[in-house]
Structure 1
Amino acid sequence: MQSDDKPTNGQPANGRHNPNFLDLLNQTPPPPGSKPRPKRLAGLRTAWRESWKEGGFLYQRWEELVQARHAGWHEIAVWIKTAGLLAGLSLIVMTVGAAADIASATLKGLSGVQATDTGDGSGLWGTVDHPVRVFLAGQAAHLPVAPAALYAFWQLTGLLGLIGGFLGNAGARITWTLFGTGSLAMVWSGTPAGGRAAATGLAALMWALASAFALRGLTLRPIVHNHPPQYMPQFNPELHLHATLPAPAPAGDDFDDSIHSLQH
């Protein structure tokens, strides 16, 4: 990839001058054989064409964009990094602002909801839902919040715990467990004494069926990994013996000793 180096002492660093918009606007002859047109418009058109030629300003920027897909972070052009960071920060700011507005509107809506009917308690679902409504309505009388807001928050908590637990989130599964325990306590407290045990048992069965999805994959068995460790120390026993050998005598001394032995 070619680079648009700055000139040094009036000469370009790479041996030739790479045109840019300012140079082309100042040195743009009119097209031969064409009718007279405004000088600025003709200069813009010529600069646009020249900038897309090999070595032009836009041509180099396009080459940097193409190579950025396969290059690492350190090889990407600085202007691409800057544009990406600014775009990411803008997206984060907009996302956080939208989430804050939605949360604020939801909380305001729950706080302003009027009290709703507690239902007649008919059917299997009504047997579990009606005691919860009665319990929340009785507790809301001592709290600065509407019974419907408490009931909506109870439903929202259960829904988030169910979905998050199905996705494997540990916090959502803890929330689902607390939601089920609290729901059983509310059913027991809000149901008349004659059918209290049956209503609580029915609520426990419904919660257990829903827990098959919310606690999917959860096990109480310890996980044992039989994989050997990546690093195994190796022991190579070796026996090192250090022996001192006498230095060999010079050749001349051996010859003299042999002669003396023969003479004796």
Structure 2
Amino acid sequence: MSFAATHNLDGRTLTVDELWAISAPGEKVAVTPEGWARIKASYKAPIDAATDGRDIYGLTVNYGALKDQKVAGASVEAEPNRSASIKFNERQMRIQAAGLEPYFDDRISKMAMVIRLNQMAAGYTGMSEAAANAFQEYINNDVCPLIPSRGSEGANDLSMATHIGLALMGEWDVSYQGKRVPAAQVRKQLKLQPYHPFGMDGISILSNSNVAEAQSIAAVKKAEHYLALSPVVIASSLEALNGNVSP
């Protein structure tokens, strides 16, 4: 019998084995005080830079070829800039989330969220405390966004990770208690506060390789399982040859 545990994320010490263990149903996470301090500092850095009048990619200006277009003014946290930032972030989730079935299994989805939350705790994403809380709530309640396994062209898998953001907003479907259900329904059932991506949340949710990393770890663990099992399979096969085990 296995017993669920709570694992501490500090952005520094998470191992592949612990990440794999966390991805199992019932396993929970808690961000350490040091991790929360880094999340707060990471969020504040681009906000302060924008206040100084700098153009911040994905915060005050648009992406790619549209980088010369203004998204929000220097005081990003003040209205109407705050609402403009949220509107921009939500639109990015909606236009980037595209893909084809089959969906990844729950363990890959949960691992992807743990990877990103741990990166937040490392202090390098610029994401808000609200985003960290939203990720943690889904992880700890085994709410796994449905992530299409096909449709992305590169390792940065923008379209894949964006489905997590869309589900956090309550606008996509999730796997919950063995069923596919609308994220909005699960959020209401669990009495979760609405989440609206703000500031650097949008670009930091969609522009990272957490889903690809989760896939890689799942592949490594599958290979480890096959390697551990192969001596038994070989021994069983030899025994099946009329007891001839001399080779």
TM-score > 0.5, shorter chain as reference: no
- Bigger share in helix: 1
Q: Which range, TM-score by smaller chain? A: under 0.3
Higher relative contact order (CA 8 A, sep 6+): 2
- Specify which structure has the higher proportion of strand: 2
